[in-house]
Amino acid sequence: MTAGGAAAALGARIERAAALNAIAEVDTAALVREGAPSADGAPFVHVKDNIAVRGLQWTAGTPLFAGVRARRDAAAVRLLREAGASFPLKTTLHELAFGVTGANGWTGAIANPHAPGRVAGGSSGGGAAALAVGLGDLALVTDTGGSARIPAAFCGVIGFRPSTGRYPADGMIALTPSRDTIGLMAHDLRRIVRADAILAGETAALEPRDRPVRIGIATEAVLGPMEPDVTDAYRRCVALVVAAGHSVVPVDLAPILAIDESCGFAIALHETQASLRASTPALTGRPFEDLLAAVATPDVAHLLALAAGGEAVTAARYADAIGREWPGLRRAYAALFADEIDALLLPTTPVTAPLIGGGDSIALNGEQAPTFPTLTRFTRADSMAGLPSISLPFGRDDRGLPIGMMLSAARHADAMLLALAGDLMALDGFPAAG
């Protein structure tokens, strides 16, 4: 290595050490520190701790899995490693990836670097928090119902959920196979485009689109109550889209959201307990009941207990949800994109990052609103349908908290969605990531 290269590598190590110190200062509990950053300039990827990295711990943020270490890389890790990435760190998460705030009674709540008394989001909050303080080039995470996009929105980075099935899914401690996927976060969209191409086996490209597109926007009735700064940001984003020459098409999402409301929770609850019943003994040699007893986060313990009993979602109810309603949801989205729009634009969340410790409710315009349904209002249905979706940073509210705007597209239109995201982020007036 040349003297200049050695100096650059040393500078990179110093910057990363400073980022680690920043994380400690804001008490994010964002990282499981293992290994050391690469000194050769390789892309620095941190990995959510429900994804396997050979030789590193693989805990899913839950105490029963504390002694588990991965014997081999998940396929997504292997593909990125073969392309030159370095994997020195694992990031923590909402326990078992079963929540959206970043709560974790074992490792501690993941705090937002922009405001340490507020959540980083979940379940992939550790990855978003690490990127927000400048640590890493890319975060490899998971997304079941918003886990890559909600933390990205709260922490001011880009969060991408691909079409379900686009990336290899082995090496994940899974929850809901019908909608689990590896996801990506970064400050720079080009990092996501490159990683997407590697994981999907395609050629990386971020070419500007050569024609205007039809972008769907939600009616006020579907948007529901939102914080005023989020509402203003959405209006400004829509105005930018129009000024760029794209068509804006109001769409009625109510029928689609109603289908998801009917089937999504039943599918998630049933599949999660089935997945963890299989993975717990495979990883630890101990039964699922031991996991139930050891879970350290109240909301996760409640949901798992609800699922484990079987009364909340009977076999017949699950069969109807997965066999009839879920295909209906996918058909409804497919018709929407085929007949009316090319992409859908929504706020990622109706609020900016809420306070840590709110439990089952958060403040929304001076009133209490249920935490999970509120934070996932715009991310649940497209996740259930397996659509690609990306959260883009779009400025901050009057308290300095990041706001995210979300684009979604038809299944398997990932490349188009990423190109459109690049077009929008390049527009004059589109706030820079940060």
Read off the tokens for 8.
Answer: 């650059």
- Rounded mean pLDDT of 330-349? 97
Q: What is the pLDDT of residues 247-282, one digit of tens each?
A: 999 999 999 999 999 999 999 999 999 999 999 999
Query: Is 275 considered catalytic here?
Result: no
pTM: 0.91
Read off the tokens for 248.
Answer: 């804006």
The crossing angle, in degrees rounded to 10, of helices 254-284 and 326-339 is 130
Residue 431 has pLDDT above 80, yes or no: yes
Residue 380 has pLDDT above 70, yes or no: yes
- Rounded mean pLDDT of 65-83? 97
Q: What is the pLDDT of residues 239-248, one digit of tens each?
A: 999 999 999 9
Q: What is the pLDDT of residues 58-69, one digit of tens each?
A: 999 999 999 999
In the set 38, 48, 383, 408, the catalytic residue is: 48
For residue 151, the tally of other CB atoms under 10 A from its CB is: 39
Per-residue pLDDT at 331: 98
Residue 12 has pLDDT above 90, yes or no: no
Nearest residue to 375 (alpha-carbon basis) of 386, 367, 364, 365? 364
Q: Residue 67, SS3?
A: coil
Query: Is 147 considered catalytic here?
Result: yes
Q: Are 29 and 108 in contact (CB under 8 A)?
A: yes
Residue 17 has pLDDT above 60, yes or no: no
The percentage of residues in the chain with a pLDDT greater than 70, rounded to a whole number, is: 88
Residue 88 has pLDDT above 90, yes or no: no
Residue 27 has pLDDT above 70, yes or no: no
The percentage of residues in the chain with a pLDDT greater than 90, rounded to a whole number, is: 85
Q: Residue 84, SS3?
A: coil
Per-residue pLDDT at 309: 84
In the set 38, 124, 147, 389, the catalytic residue is: 147
Residue 6 has pLDDT above 70, yes or no: no
What letter represents residue 378's amino acid? F
In the set 123, 275, 279, 389, the catalytic residue is: 123
Angle at 386 between CA 381 and CA 391, to 5 degrees: 70
Query: Is 123 considered catalytic here?
Result: yes
Q: Residue 286, SS3?
A: coil
Read off the tokens for 122.
Answer: 């979940």
Q: Cβ neighbours of residue 256 under 8 Å, at least 6 residues apart? A: 329, 332, 333, 336, 381
Q: What is the pLDDT of residues 186-238, one digit of tens each?
A: 999 999 999 999 999 988 766 666 678 999 999 999 999 999 999 999 999 99
Per-residue pLDDT at 24: 45
Q: Residue 388, SS3?
A: coil
Q: Residue 43's pLDDT band (boundaries 50, 70, 90)?
A: confident
Per-residue pLDDT at 211: 79
Nearest residue to 260 (alpha-carbon basis) of 251, 252, 268, 249? 268
For residue 27, the tally of other CB atoms under 10 A from its CB is: 12
- Using CA atoms, how far apart are residues 37 and 42, in angstroms rounded to an integer? 9
Sheet holding 44-48, edge to edge: 31-33, 86-91, 44-48, 138-143, 181-186, 158-161, 389-396, 402-409, 343-347, 214-218, 247-251
